[in-house]
Structure 1
Amino acid sequence: MPFSRVAASLRRSSRDGVKRTALITEGAYTTLDIGQVAESPQPVGAGLAYIATPPTAPPAIMLKLGFDQPALLVRAAAPSVLPSETVSIGEAITFPTSHGPGHAFWYAPKNRDFEGPEDALPPLVVLSHGGPTSMTTNHFNLQIQWWTSRGIGVVDVNYGGSTGYGRAYRRLLNGQWGIVDVDDCRAAAEYLVARGLVDGARLAIRGGSAGGFTTLAALTSSDAFRAGASLYGVADLMLLASDTHKFESRYLDGLIGPLPETGALYAERSPIHHLDQLACPVIFFQGEEDKTVPPNQAETMVAAMSARALPVAYYLFAGEGHGFRKAETLRRVLELELDFYGRVFGFSAPGLSERVKIANM
């Protein structure tokens, strides 16, 4: 591909909030009809190689030998394991927030073989993505389908500060981590409750890493949620600043403020210091070898909750780091978390290989 032409992954929030590919030529761009992609395609001769991330099937490596040529499948990440009638496709939604429109993807419960009771609305799991200045899309995600195929709605929130909706939206998190993200996750849930799509008495929030911080901050600053799940999440910002790896050691300067000048702000935003406002069960999942968010983050929170006789569950996984990789770990986390929500919300999930253990409940 000539250097005067560049293929880039662009996101236009005014349309549907998903990534598409555009060919940029001398400052002008033309959208390419190749569907949603992961990051920017790579030039190959006169064409492109890219990872397609459709909403209905696992990712796949694709190749176009020329822009006027059909796309060729090189390799799919995995076979489709769900019938198409069971796949819930994320609907791009906007909802009101304190800073203007917020953005998320709403996944309605869906299963070809089962229907929910006519006289009850489904529970909702709010997803707070990691980063925290990254983004989520509505690409096919088996973990989301795990919830929706079992009668639980999901809203995947691109809170203020997320990439993909313009510079002003991205800058909303500057100095406001633990405030804007928390408010937007709560606002997304309230929006779906107001639309009559989910049960306002059965709202849960979950997230990993930075999303785990947002989860814990939401649970310790609001009574909107009835349960939460933190996966290798941050509970103490000062502990994170002192323990995390060198690459992200100054990341918090922009999200919270520089140290030591803003030390009081770190304490104010840390969920560990607001347990008096926590009034619901929380489950923690942690990798024993995590160097980014070490286990002491989860263990400090679990110990403090236990001392206050608050309902809490904690699972530590040997051989796992920051972000779980083993298939058995991923499966076990999903089953334990589903059973956890069942215990809190009053349903019994069939077919689980293990039942969750919750202290003080």
Structure 2
Amino acid sequence: MTELCHSPVAGNWPSWVGPDLVAGRTLSFAELKTAGDWIFWVETRPEEQGRAVIVGRRPDGTLMDLTPADRTVGTRVHEYGGGAWDVRMNGEDPEVIFSDRKTGDLWVSNGESSSRVLDGQRVPEQRYADLTWDPAGDGVFCVRETHAGGVPVATLVYVDPKGKETVLAEGADFYAAPRPSPDGAFLAWFSWQNPEMPWTATTLSVAPLDRDTLQLGPATDLTGDEKCSIIEPRWAQDGTLYATSDLPGSWSPIQFTRDERGWTGCFLPFVNAEIGLPHWVFGQRTLLPLSNGELLALGIRQGLNCVLHFANGQWQDVPMGAPVNVPERLTNGNFAWIDTPEDAPSALAIGDMHGRYERFRSSVTFPESVQEDDLSKPEPLSFRTADGAEAHALFYRPASGSSCLAKGEKPPLVVMAHGGPTGRANPAFAFKVQWWTSRGFAVLDVNYRGSTGFGRQYREALDLQWGVVDVEDCLAGVRALIERNLVDPSRCVIRGSSAGGLTVLAALAHSNLFAAGTSLYGVTDLRALAEETHKFEARYLDGLIGPYPEDEAVYLERSPITHAEKINVPVLFLHGGADKVVPLSQAEAMSTKLEHSELHVYPEEGHGFRDREVVEDALVRELGFYQRVFGKTPS
């Protein structure tokens, strides 16, 4: 950019990223799978009120919807869902089993006709996730969550084509990833107990399956003697079982083989990347067994994604775009994946391990006028915190081909605190970032301590410290940018959703770095959250804060609502009226304690905004809020 151009004050630049582009025309892709040379994925369509459809791509390249127009694919197991479908080939035609998000029913469909297998609205209500077709039969393995008016109960079940359910495993608080071996003789899965979370401690099990009775034999615990998170079991065709375990210090692949003495586990050689994702949703895949002991994996290195190939005892980076999960194999030797680069919208891709690939269906098409200068790309940033630790973030500079900073002007800064808090700042192209950078804002997307992708020690640095080190890391990141003369210190704001909302409010209460903040369905009262939240996160705070009510004093001290009087800058609250994860009462109670606050409620939305009009309104409302706070001229 040149300093000689004439532009509005940064933060008010004309932008090519309109709210309709962000919310109205952007498809969303998830959970890509392959069967033969067919490719399948879940496609969410805003123009159909956010309906999720399973789409299949035939080997000749033509596309077809495989689920009926009056159904939306999804599940509310753990509230966050995922893994709501699976596909197999029935001769030359695909056959899909899926959960309907609205009713919880299980359906089988081939694109032309569909039939209901189970009625999820029976009493008690039942929900299903992590569906996996039986390779040796006509049924499906899945996780069942039963709601009987009290605490939901999780089990592993087998559902036959007539809807008969056979319980396979029960007793654990949570189950995930029931994966049958290729011959159907064994079943692997992982489970965990409260107060653990799936990224703190799990148990990986494998058991023989009696094909006549559909009962499991004695299960073998493959976890080992040390506490670890071992997740994502996946079988190779030769019967080798793979998983990813964080016992070495970061999630790393481990293989299990069986002989007459039982199962034996062995870690693969060290790889300089973390291979594994926190199990917030079902259906994530970071490992793909190939033939002859080879593997393909999705890794995270210093916050950025990479694809790795294991062969001949060594790992090697391979150029396969920017997959959101590990690429899946086609029988023609190619792979398919959801491509999420830094400078282009997500798309479906087909290619090989040598950098040759094509993107065949994009989530959105940029306006023809958009050039490279209009796009902001992430720059990995590391910085020291006040206590001497190292933290990480992704930094985005303002980007416009037609506007620029005036001479001597520094851009306003939007700091983003991701949710979870066990999550990460994702480097993939996102309109939630470009919305700001295209208008002249800089963005700092913080991978505070506790984020994934940097190993177990970095993730565990948030243990008992939520509301402390995450806040410190956000503040340290802002100070680092100010010291490097990259942003306007008088025009810094902070925004965050869910757990990130707590970080936002705590940062506002304990610093004077920010001119304003926005909490999107954010946590304000930890005591209320411990008492009201859903089962999946019911004991999550034990590890982040301490056991409740024993450590009630700590909960009180860390809750933003306790320090409301310390917040003297404007705060915008955006919340869904049907939120079951962080109830609306949290935002209502906090906003009434602040002199300069705005609360806007979207009555029909849950935890996270999905409706097109809501997404548009939230973006415009937040932008206008900051512009009013800043005025038209930087100080």
Using structure 1 for the length normalisation, give the TM-score: 0.90
Superposed displacement of residue 105, structure 1? 0.9
**Which residue of 1 is the match for residue 322 of structure 2?**
36
The superposition leaves residues 269-289 of structure 1 with CA deviations (integer Å, 9 ceiling, x where unpaired) of 000000121111100000111
Superposed displacement of residue 99, structure 1? 4.4
Q: Is the aligned partner of 1:71 residue 2:357? A: yes
- Structure 2, unmatched stretches of 5+, are 1-289
Q: Is the aligned partner of 1:315 residue 2:600? A: yes
Residues of 1 paired with 2:364 and 2:616: CA distance?
16
Q: Secondary structure at the match of 2:625?
A: helix
Q: Secondary structure at the match of 2:406?
A: coil
Residues of 2 paired with 1:340 and 1:346: CA distance?
10
Superposed displacement of residue 178, structure 1? 0.5
Q: Is the aligned partner of 1:93 residue 2:381? A: yes
Q: Secondary structure at the match of 2:598?
A: strand
Q: Secondary structure at the match of 2:394?
A: strand
- Structure 1, unmatched stretches of 5+, are 349-361
Residues of 1 paired with 2:312 and 2:383: CA distance?
36
Superposed displacement of residue 120, structure 1? 2.2
The superposition leaves residues 65-113 of structure 1 with CA deviations (integer Å, 9 ceiling, x where unpaired) of x535822323211112443221111111111112422111111111111
Any conservation in 1 of the 2:318–2:354 contact (CA below 8 Å)?
A: no
Superposed displacement of residue 56, structure 1? 0.7
**Which residue of 2 is the match for residue 330 of structure 1?**
615
**Which residue of 2 is the match for residue 52 of structure 1?**
339
Any conservation in 1 of the 2:320–2:353 contact (CA below 8 Å)?
A: no
2:588 aligned residue (299, 305, 324): 299
2:407 aligned residue (91, 96, 118): 118
Going by fraction, where is helix more abundant, 1 or 2?
A: 1
Residues of 1 paired with 2:500 and 2:422: CA distance?
10
Any conservation in 2 of the 1:161–1:171 contact (CA below 8 Å)?
A: yes
Q: Is the aligned partner of 1:84 residue 2:372? A: yes
Q: Secondary structure at the match of 1:186?
A: helix
**Which residue of 2 is the match for residue 237 of structure 1?**
526
Correspondence list, 1:236-315, <5 A: 236-305=525-594, 310-315=595-600
**Which residue of 1 is the match for residue 456 of structure 2?**
167
Residue 72 to residue 341, structure 1, CA distance change in 2 (3 Å) = same
Residues of 1 paired with 2:451 and 2:515: CA distance?
25
The superposition leaves residues 199-223 of structure 1 with CA deviations (integer Å, 9 ceiling, x where unpaired) of 1111100000011111111111222
Q: Secondary structure at the match of 1:219?
A: helix
Correspondence list, 1:200-219, <5 A: 200-219=489-508
Residue 68 to residue 18, structure 1, CA distance change in 2 (3 Å) = closer
Q: Secondary structure at the match of 1:38?
A: coil
Superposed displacement of residue 39, structure 1? 2.8
The superposition leaves residues 40-64 of structure 1 with CA deviations (integer Å, 9 ceiling, x where unpaired) of 3333334432211111111112123
Rg larger in structure: 2
Residues of 1 paired with 2:304 and 2:401: CA distance?
26
Residues of 2 paired with 1:271 and 1:212: CA distance?
10
Residues of 2 paired with 1:69 and 1:228: CA distance?
42
Q: Secondary structure at the match of 1:154?
A: strand
2:509 aligned residue (176, 197, 220): 220
Residue 206 to residue 25, structure 1, CA distance change in 2 (3 Å) = same
Residues of 2 paired with 1:250 and 1:28: CA distance?
40
The superposition leaves residues 170-196 of structure 1 with CA deviations (integer Å, 9 ceiling, x where unpaired) of 111111111110000011111111111
**Which residue of 2 is the match for residue 145 of structure 1?**
434
The superposition leaves residues 142-185 of structure 1 with CA deviations (integer Å, 9 ceiling, x where unpaired) of 12111111111111000011000122111111111111100000
Q: Report sequence identity in percent.
A: 43
Residue 168 to residue 122, structure 1, CA distance change in 2 (3 Å) = same
Q: Is the aligned partner of 1:179 residue 2:468? A: yes
Residues of 2 paired with 1:99 and 1:253: CA distance?
26
Residues of 1 paired with 2:328 and 2:503: CA distance?
34
- What amino acid maps onto 1:96 in structure 2? R
Residues of 1 paired with 2:388 and 2:292: CA distance?
40
Going by fraction, where is strand more abundant, 1 or 2?
A: 2
Superposed displacement of residue 124, structure 1? 0.5
Any conservation in 1 of the 2:319–2:353 contact (CA below 8 Å)?
A: no
Residues of 2 paired with 1:192 and 1:120: CA distance?
14
**Which residue of 2 is the match for residue 351 of structure 1?**
none
Residue 69 to residue 11, structure 1, CA distance change in 2 (3 Å) = closer
Q: Secondary structure at the match of 1:85?
A: helix
- What amino acid maps onto 1:256 in structure 2? I
- What amino acid maps onto 2:382 in structure 1? T
Residues of 2 paired with 1:316 and 1:208: CA distance?
14
Superposed displacement of residue 26, structure 1? 6.4
Using structure 2 for the length normalisation, give the TM-score: 0.52
Any conservation in 1 of the 2:345–2:364 contact (CA below 8 Å)?
A: yes
The superposition leaves residues 299-352 of structure 1 with CA deviations (integer Å, 9 ceiling, x where unpaired) of 0111122xxxx111111012211110122211111111111111111129xxxx
Q: CA RMSD in A?
A: 1.6
Superposed displacement of residue 3, structure 1? 6.9
Residue 93 to residue 241, structure 1, CA distance change in 2 (3 Å) = same
What is the aligned length?
340
Residues of 1 paired with 2:547 and 2:613: CA distance?
40
Residues of 1 paired with 2:501 and 2:631: CA distance?
24
- What amino acid maps onto 1:333 in structure 2? A
The superposition leaves residues 97-136 of structure 1 with CA deviations (integer Å, 9 ceiling, x where unpaired) of 1242211111111111112222321110100001111111
- What amino acid maps onto 1:22 in structure 2? L
